[in-house]
Amino acid sequence: MFDIGSSELLLIIVVAIVVIGPKDLPRALYKVGQVVGKARGMARHFRTGLDAMIREAELEELQKQWAKENARIMAETQIPDLGDVMKPLADEKAAPPPSPASPSTPAAAPAPADPQPAPVADEAAGQQPALPLDPPAPRGSAAS
């Protein structure tokens, strides 16, 4: 940004000592540092805002490209009309369901009991009960 060589920096320091004086120079340098820090913070904030705007513009451009490509793909694939397929399904839904007291339908049977017994812990061996889906544990190994 600013191309300041060593000779220019030395000249600036000498002029600052002569103009400001050696007594007030540290306070002046502190103030200059504060101003430079604020300027950098503002520049960083500005740059962040610009980057966000650029990202949003790129995102909008990508969305437009996606919509264009999606429209092209949809035009190429030509999905068939599902009206003929859906009509029999709509007719089945419109028909009244059979009454539960009709003699042609068998009575609902009770749900069968669970054929597998509940797992039992082997307390003497110190093992946890095995669930029906767990692989069998090797014999002689204790679970921790």
- In degrees, rounded to 5, the angle at the alpha carbon of residue 75 between the alpha carbons of residues 73 and 80 is 110
pLDDT tens string, the chain, 144 residues long: the values are: 567 788 888 898 889 888 988 899 899 989 999 999 999 999 999 999 999 999 999 999 999 999 999 999 988 887 666 666 666 666 666 666 666 655 555 555 555 555 555 555 555 556 666 566 656 666 765 554
Torsion of CA 64, 70, 72, 73, to 10 degrees: 160
Domain boundaries, the chain: 30-76
φ, ψ at 53 (rounded to 5°): -65, -40
Question: How many Å apart are CA 122 and CA 140, to the nearest integer?
Answer: 12
- Tokens of residue 75, six digits: 């035009």
Instruction: Say what the pTM is.
Output: 0.39
Distance CA 106, CA 100 (A): 9
Please tell me the number of Cα atoms within 13 Å of 71 on its side-chain side.
6
Question: What are the pLDDT digits (tens) for 45-72?
Answer: 999 999 999 999 999 999 999 999 999 9
Q: For the beta carbon of residue 127, count every other beta carbon within 10 angstroms.
A: 14
Measure Cα distances from 9 to 12, 17, 49, 89, 94 in Å: 5, 12, 33, 87, 91
Total count of residues recorded for the chain: 144
pLDDT at 4: 78
Tokens 């068998």 found at: 106
Determine contact, residues 128/143, Cβ cutoff 8 Å: yes
